[in-house]
Amino acid sequence: MIVVITGASAGVGRATVRAFAREGADIGLIARGVDGLDAARREVEAAGGRALVLPADVASADQIEAAAAQVERELGPIDVWVNNAMVSVFSPVMALQPGEIERVTDVTYLGVVHGTVAALRRMLPRDRGVIVQVGSALAYRGIPLQAAYCAAKHAVQGFTESLRCELLHDGSNVHLTMVNLPAMNTPQFDWVKSRMPRKAQPVPPIYAPEIAADAIVWAASHRRREISVGMTTVAVIWGNKMAAGLGDRYLARFGYDAQQTDEPADPHQPDNLWQPLPGDHGAHGRFGNRTSTISPQTWLNERLPAVALLLAGGAALLWGARRWRDA
């Protein structure tokens, strides 16, 4: 299996590299940070696979097209493409600079478009392949202080739905799926550009990146339209459908503090908006003591047909037992 992962050097992308490597995949590794890519390559090779380091900025369609061509020349036909790269800015809307909004959009949204198009150029003629969009609960529910990121994730969701309809219209066997994530314990909160007075944190509850990675690997081999990871993701998406106004007021009151720790922010903290930070940052952030390493909801979600069958069988047995008792 040949897999390409964007944002492969750190966070969820890095955990996904490890998860696919355990499955025996050969992996094309795309990100800006060479140190993290080299470390990811060593992990893939230690698991027995081949890895190709592809330093590239997903905001550039030309760079992503060149990376895809190199993968097919050196590793083989791409089976799975995972669009995961992202950047963000934590800031009130009125303090955002135009260039910051453009940069978040270019990476988090247009990076998905560029990756998807590069994958489709190769998958459509072969009539096979899987594209996994790494989405978010924030693709369905905007929150304060992350307008640029939420808008980009909303755009990814709309783009994906439009493309899915086109693939169905054409009778294509290329599968498109979206994996929506909750708050994750990744390094991004130590390098995200922020104007908040205190240090950034994921909105609790916080999940380990391995939970997301396992769901991405699962989605790559199951023809599910999309999958939501973590009970909070399900609650946010459905809560917004049913009571968006209530969500507005809740987030207006609690959404600011929920995204900040009690520690004052470092005004000189470097960020990765325009350039990657040096070093290998791995998959995990600094919130390990507050992180859940299991998600019963995700486990059940991945087994929905079996769970539904089991529940139906149990209901039938209960109905039969009551009929026998009352006879």
The residues annotated with a catalytic role in the active site are 149
Helix 11-22 / helix 209-219 crossing angle, nearest 10 deg? 50
| End-to-end Cα, the chain, rounded Å | 58
Residues 6 or more apart whose Cβ sits within 8 Å of residue 149:
86, 88, 89, 104, 108, 138
Place of tokens 């009551």: 322
Query: In terms of DSSP bridges, do strands 260-264 and 198-200 run parallel, antiparallel, or are they unpaired?
Result: antiparallel
What amino acid is encoded at 138 in this protein? L
Q: How far apart are CA 231 and CA 226, in angstroms?
A: 15
Helix ranges (DSSP H) in 89-225: 98-104, 110-126, 147-169, 209-219
